Amino acid sequence: MAQTQDWKGKTNGGAFGQRFLLRTLRHVPTRVFYPVLYPIIPFCLLFARKTNRAIYQYYRKIWGLNRWRSFTDNVKTAFVFGRVVIDKFALWAGNKAQFKITIREEDSKLVDRMLDQEKGFILAGSHIGNFELMGQALEQDRKPFNCIIFGGESELLQERRNTIFQENNVKLIPVTEDMSHLFAIKEALDHGEVVAILCDRMFTGNKKKSVDFLGHPADFPTGIFRIATLMEVPVISAFMIKDKNNRYHSHLIPLNSNSSDDLLLQYVHSLEEVLHTCPEQWFNFFDFWKIQDN
């Protein structure tokens, strides 16, 4: 499965569907919408063949499961992802009090130490679980959070994200083709702020490095780890894992190295550690690994 850029990272549904979800989920609990996925998911699995095939091969080739188990776990991933998307719309709609987020004691102490120091730090997230709940979970007023986001979302969603995240002391920095977001990242860290960024997806212009990930080579962007090394700021690998219904729990892992390559390897190892506990929450729906599809 050669890695490609086919996955654009853009939320589907059209303006009407997105507006309907935002208005409805402002008042309705997410659990009311979860059953809607039962007729939708089979349709998506049937017609979104490229993304469907990518996750099937993820189970078949990476985890070594048989064909039937790969198929059923593929369906499971689709349903979990659907629920996470609904949760995100509820968050953007402002209906955030319904989420029950458990912050591990060691995670809380780690973040408190980082927030109390003068230096800024980086939260290195991934497309596992629901990273956008991290700002809600770590709500505080000591340091602004700067969340690096894909810049191709609809104007409606970008506006809602800005409004909701500002309430939690979170600022949004869109990824741009001219790479100007890199200057915004440096400026935020210079001011001792927090930068939260997803580090498991390649975009045009990213410098990359191929490393072993779950037993097979895969490309990861290296830019944020180079910035961390040059600016001598700490990096924490951060996950918000979905449990049953509207419950989530945190999993933070500090990365410790003066080498950008070592930071990347530690980050990838943290992905492996978490995926061994919840492989169904891997939400990179494209051919991620460099192995043959046969």
Q: Which residues pair with 250 in a beta bridge?
A: 240
**pLDDT single digits (tens) 225-246:** 999 999 999 999 999 999 998 9
Instruction: Give DSSP secondary structure letters for 59-94.
Output: IIIIS---HHHHHHHHHHHHHHHHHHHHHHHHHHHT
Of 45, 69, 93, the one marking the end of a domain is: 93
Question: The domain containing residue 84 runs over which residues?
Answer: 14-93
State whether 135 and 257 are in the same domain.
yes
* Inside any domain, residue 211: yes
* Inside any domain, residue 22: yes
Q: Which stretch of 8-17, 50-59, 271-280 has the lowest confidence by average pLDDT?
A: 8-17
State whether 82 and 139 are in the same domain.
no
The continuous run of DSSP H or E covering 241 comes out as strand 235-242
Question: pLDDT grade, residue 288 (50/70/90)?
Answer: very high
N- to C-terminal Cα separation, the chain: 9
State whether 46 and 117 are in the same domain.
no
Residue type, 124: A
| SS3 at position 120 | coil
State the pLDDT at residue 153.
56
Of 25, 60, 93, the one marking the end of a domain is: 93
State the pLDDT at residue 10.
52
Could you tell me whether strands 235-242 and 121-125 are parallel, antiparallel, or unpaired per DSSP bridges? parallel
* Inside any domain, residue 35: yes
> What average pLDDT does this structure show over 69-88?
96
Instruction: Identify the residue whose tokens are 């340091």.
Output: 143
State whether 89 and 164 are in the same domain.
no
State whether 63 and 156 are in the same domain.
no
Q: What are phi and psi of 284, to 5 degrees?
A: -100, 100
* Inside any domain, residue 287: no
State the pLDDT at residue 179.
76
C-alpha to C-alpha distance for 209 and 241, rounded to whole angstroms: 26
State the pLDDT at residue 96.
85
Q: Which stretch of 140-144, 241-245, 247-251, 263-267 has the lowest confidence by average pLDDT?
A: 140-144
Of 48, 76, 93, the one marking the end of a domain is: 93
State the pLDDT at residue 204.
58
- Candidates 38, 139, 30, 143; CA nearest to 91 is 30
Q: Which residues pair with 219 in a beta bridge?
A: 210
Tell me the average pLDDT of the chain. 87
Length of the chain: 294
Quick check: 62 pLDDT over 90?
yes
**pLDDT single digits (tens) 200-209:** 987 656 789 9
State whether 213 and 173 are in the same domain.
yes
State the pLDDT at residue 139.
73
Rg (CA), the chain: 18
Contact in structure between 134 and 122 (CB atoms under 8 Å):
no
Domain total in the chain: 2
> What average pLDDT does this structure show over 59-85?
96
State whether 89 and 104 are in the same domain.
no
C-alpha to C-alpha distance for 69 and 223, rounded to whole angstroms: 37
List, in order, residues 6 or more apart from 217 with CB less than 8 Å away: 210, 211, 289, 290
* Inside any domain, residue 66: yes
State whether 122 and 200 are in the same domain.
yes
State the pLDDT at residue 215.
95
State whether 184 and 259 are in the same domain.
yes
> What average pLDDT does this structure show over 11-20?
64
State whether 126 and 20 are in the same domain.
no
* Inside any domain, residue 294: no
Contact in structure between 132 and 279 (CB atoms under 8 Å):
no
* Inside any domain, residue 49: yes
**pLDDT single digits (tens) 157-192:** 666 666 666 666 778 888 877 777 888 999 999 999
State whether 129 and 237 are in the same domain.
yes
> What average pLDDT does this structure show over 125-134?
93
